[in-house]
Amino acid sequence: MKSIYHKFKINFLCYFIFLSFLLTGYIKNILFIFLIIVVHELGHILFLKRYGYTILKVELFPFGGMTTSEKYLNSPINQDIWIYSGGILFQLILGLFFAFLFHKGFIYSSTYQLFTYYNLGILLFNLLPIKPLDGGEIFFLLFQKVCSFSKSITISLFSSLFFLILFLFYMIQSNLNQYIVLSFLIYKLLDFYKKRNYYQNKFYLERFLYLFPYKKIEHHNMIDLKVLKKETLHFFKKENKYVHEKEILKQRFDK
């Protein structure tokens, strides 16, 4: 874990927000926010390392963080849910630790209330079903339990847009910091939309190159790669016989 330290990167927005807090005297506030964000990302890192993935970068924002790894798009759904839930679990543990400190008299009531305010706020924010927040990623994974990867991308885009609009109306009278958060969410959702075909092709390419564990098998009378699901092995009817999905993918990539 000692090499993880060098993977951390502080986004330039953090310096702007942190400076505004420091100049107005809210030093304890910014320390709590920074502590919560780091602990949250450590939760993701722990589960990523638990499942053997290499951490590429951990970028810290004033409202959260983003951990980038070499995780496959075809990795097991429940495993991915644990990874995205890791930050939430670590925040809950941190909350219990501060509750212990308060009840033992190690910290004042005002300090505990201030910490709880930020911890709960960041926790609820990350649970919003908007990509790339943890809630949005978990929603995306739950869709993949019942839908194809292609359909899950479409559903996730529309559901994220719907909840983003609701969040926008809720935050209509926001301050500058909250407008920065909204701008970030809009930017990331647009980026996901622009890269949807890239993710789709990456999903196909992984299935062509590697072997993944499957829980069920499906047979199709027509060749259509858009029906491919995570954790499902597909066979397609071709010339009156069913062929393995890799045979179809080979025609797409082995050129």
Domain-by-domain residue ranges, the chain?
2-204, 210-253
Percent of the chain residues past pLDDT 70, beyond the cut: 95
What is the structure's pLDDT at 177? 66
pLDDT in tens, 42-91: 999 999 999 999 998 888 876 678 888 989 999 999 999 999 999 999 99
Instruction: Tell me which of 34 and 199 has the higher pLDDT.
Output: 199
What is the structure's pLDDT at 5? 66
Q: For residue 150, what pLDDT band results from cuts at 50, 70 and 90? A: very high
Residue 17 has pLDDT above 60, yes or no: yes
Instruction: Tell me which of 6 and 210 has the higher pLDDT.
Output: 210
Q: Could you tell me the pTM of the whole model?
A: 0.88
What is the structure's pLDDT at 255? 61
Residue 246 has pLDDT above 70, yes or no: yes
Out of 21-30, 142-151, 238-247, least confident range = 21-30
What is the structure's pLDDT at 20? 74
pLDDT in tens, 165-195: 998 888 766 666 677 788 888 999 999 999 9
Residue 134 has pLDDT above 80, yes or no: yes
Which candidate, 181, 185, 199, places its Cα nearest to that of 63?
A: 181
Q: Is 41 a catalytic residue?
A: yes
